[in-house]
């Protein structure tokens, strides 16, 4: 059965924040209301898997744009999943493996955030960068540390602090970057 909750100031049903009131319509009353108000948007509260009634709630006019955006995003994600060929399975659906052994599911779950090859290459590159930075002079290390720290200093601020023209700092910075690039090849 299709059940619709329509916003109405005299309704018996309240939103969770108790700021909105709704009336419940089903059957012929819902059909008549929907025939008269074709532009109204509703959000489905139940899923396809539920064996219960299909429940819809009216979307307020000021939220229609956001709901449409969310629906488009959900459809986009569903389309991408379908194109990727990746299937989602429930861990609870796993009973036994091919040879009768108990499956834990670990053999089927892919961690999409983990890429061993990419992580290994990244670690190697970081280690090489640390080695190259260690080969810099103390002044060069100081300049790099000041410009690339968590709280970086600007070239102009550093020039004022060291009492030199900013172009001097800028040239040194460019020279260090070239040196690092050459050593990292």
Domain boundaries, the chain: 2-59, 63-110, 116-184
CB 5, CB 58: distance < 8 Å: yes
E strands, the chain, are 2-7, 13-14, 21-26, 42-44, 54-58
Indicate left, alpha or beta for 105 from its phi (over 0: left) and psi (-120 to 50: alpha): left
pLDDT at residue 48 in the model: 59
Helix (H, G, I), strand (E, B) or coil at 63: helix
Q: Which tokens is 24 given?
A: 């419940």
Helix (H, G, I), strand (E, B) or coil at 89: coil
Regarding predicted confidence, which is higher, 173 or 34? 173
Task: Look at residue 67 and tell me whether its pLDDT is greater than 90.
Answer: no
CB 103, CB 95: distance < 8 Å: yes
CA gap 45, 41 in Å, rounded: 13
CA gap 8, 14 in Å, rounded: 10
Give tens-digit pLDDT for 85-131: 766 665 555 555 555 566 665 555 566 666 777 788 888 888 888 88
pLDDT at residue 160 in the model: 92
Query: What is this structure's pTM?
Result: 0.38
Instruction: Specify the CATH number of the domain 116-184.
Output: 1.10.10.10
Q: What is the mean pLDDT of residues 154-166?
A: 91
pLDDT at residue 172 in the model: 93
């Amino acid at each position: 059965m299709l059940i619709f909750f329509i916003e109405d100031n005299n309704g018996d049903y309240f939103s969770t924040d108790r700021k909105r009131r709704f009336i419940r319509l089903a059957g012929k009353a819902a059909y008549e209301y929907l025939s008269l108000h074709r532009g109204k948007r509703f959000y489905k509260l139940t899923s396809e898997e539920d064996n219960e009634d299909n429940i819809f709630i009216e979307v307020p006019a000021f939220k229609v744009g956001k709901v449409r955006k969310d629906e488009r995003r959900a459809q986009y994600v569903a389309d991408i999943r379908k194109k990727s060929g990746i299937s989602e399975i429930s861990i609870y659906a796993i009973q036994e493996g091919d040879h009768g052994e108990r499956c834990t599911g670990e053999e089927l779950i892919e961690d999409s955030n983990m890429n061993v090859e990419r992580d290994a290459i990244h670690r190697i590159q970081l280690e090489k960068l640390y080695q190259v930075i260690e080969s810099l002079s103390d002044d060069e290390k100081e300049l790099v540390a000041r410009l690339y720290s968590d709280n970086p200093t600007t070239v102009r601020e550093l020039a004022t602090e060291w009492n030199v023209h900013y172009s001097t700092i800028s040239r040194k910075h460019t020279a260090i970057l070239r040196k690092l690039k050459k050593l990292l090849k």
